[in-house]
Amino acid sequence: MTNTADVRVRFVERYIRVVDRFWSDTDFAGRLEDSPLPALAECGLEVPPGVQVRLVRLPAWDVADAMRRWFEAAEIALPLPPGGATHVSDAELGDLAGGQVSARRRAAMTATTTQPARKGGLKFRPGALKKLGAPPALDTPVQLGRPYDVLALLLLVVLIIAAAFWGGLGSVPRTISAAGVLTHREGSFELQSPTAGQITRVFVDKGAQFATDTPMFEVRLGSDVQVIRSISGGRVTAVLGKVGQIISAGTELAIVERIKDADDPLMAAVYVAGDKIGQIHPGQQVTLSVQSAPAQKYGLLEGTVSSVGQFPEAQGEISEFLGDSHLGTQFTTGGQPWKVLVRLAPAGTPSGFRWTTGVGPPFGIESRTTVDADFHLPPLKPIDWLVAR
């Protein structure tokens, strides 16, 4: 079966030959008008037997109209040549003048004789005909994108490769955060009065270090005077009782840290939630933000995990260890935490400890100062994180 597109393409090629010769060859123009069939056959445009071909004039070049006329009405359209010239025979002109040509024919010939050609003639003819007469581009490579699209695709590929490289070889730092307080390994306790009365003397000051059975306060009740002594050695971190104060039995008089000697190191007691305690191990690196030394200015205090508690602690246990019921309440807000002791790294700085900024604050840090700790976990590769999810 003949492809319709191929038939039309072949017609356009042969039609172009007819028009070119009609414009350039006067003898051919005459033969075309006298005997159309042989003239058309010279250009390869064969007419089926029994079909009568009529010549019509077009005011301008129109291949689409010519094709329609040929296939629908067996008419061969002869467009006006460039420059306005026309090939109308003398006989036709004579017949036109004598009225022997039909009105439709007369109008067509008159239009081709008087109407000027389009400006530029066949200015767009080569490109249009080349595109129309080109064979089907089934074997022609298809341009899938512009150069900018290719550049964007290459950039995307580079980004994907970089992301894959980072995902396999890169690392993401991980930390676990928890709150705590600076203290000593043995913690603190509240020194309470065993009797009611009025405080008449205070024997210790804040920061004073003392041994077991050291006199701390003197309380008078009537004619009876009682001296309250320490139940163990330590250092006073807060003096709550004042001379002249009326107290009852059980009144808190002072907060005392249990220390063995002056060289007993300061530590941090950090309380970690139970769902995270499994990732905390002795020797782990820790950085602490100290409330009295802003991290933005002095950096973070450095240390390592010394020990991890074996069981969670209740509010009462924390209050007893720290000697402060308010801290016990604060650290158990989210449930019963686990106690982690952090040893602070010593250094030759004004505070005596190592800081991320190198020097740290120009002053010492005191016990019972609250801290925010970050426990540094082993870094995780991004690909491992994705697989774990």
CATH number at residue 235: 2.40.50.100
Domains of the chain: total = 3
- What is the identity of the amino acid at 164? A
- Does residue 298 fall inside a structural domain? yes
In a domain, 139, yes or no: no
CATH number of the domain at 298, please.
Answer: 2.40.30.170
The residue-averaged pLDDT of 361-388 equals: 84
Q: Do 75 and 92 fall into the same domain?
A: yes
**Token pair of 46, please?**
């064969």
Rounded CA separation 314/325 (Å): 11
Q: Residue 210 — very low, low, confident or very high, per pLDDT cuts 50/70/90?
A: confident
> What is the torsional sign of CA 186, 188, 189, 191?
positive
Mean pLDDT of 382-386: 70
Residue 103 has pLDDT above 60, yes or no: no
Average pLDDT over residues 132-156: 73
pLDDT, tens digit, for every residue of 274-288?
Answer: 899 999 999 999 999
Q: Is residue 165 part of a domain?
A: no
100 found inside a domain: yes
Report field, pTM of the whole predicted structure over 0.75: no
Residue 94 belongs to a domain? yes
Q: Are residues 191 and 236 in the same domain?
A: yes
Q: Residue 98 above 50 pLDDT?
A: no
Is 144 a domain residue?
A: no
Tokens 């994705």, located at residue: 386
| Same-domain pairing of 11 and 88 | yes
Last residue of a domain, one of 257, 278, 302: 257
Domain assignment present for 305: yes
> Count of CB atoms within 10 A of residue 218's CB?
17
pLDDT band at 158 (very low <50, low <70, confident <90, very high): very high
Tell me if 172 is assigned to some domain: no
pLDDT, position 188: 85
Amino acid sitting at position 135:
P
Residue 4 has pLDDT above 70, yes or no: no
Taking only the tens place, the pLDDT of each residue in 239-252 is: 989 999 999 998 98
More confident residue, 141 or 36: 36
Closest CA to 54 of 71, 31, 77, 72: 77
For the chain, percent of residues with pLDDT exceeding 90: 30
What is the residue range of 35's domain?
4-133
What percentage of the chain has pLDDT greater than the value 70? Answer: 78
Q: Are residues 269 and 368 in the same domain?
A: yes
Same domain, yes or no: 37 and 89: yes
Are 9 and 128 in a shared domain? Answer: yes
For residues 15 and 129, state if they share a domain: yes
Work out the average pLDDT over 191-207: 90
Both 24 and 45 in one domain: the answer is yes
Same domain, 274 and 377: yes
pLDDT at 312 over 90: yes
Nearest-angstrom CA–CA distance, 247 and 253? 9
Residue at a domain's end among 235, 257, 279: 257
Largest CA distance in the chain: 162
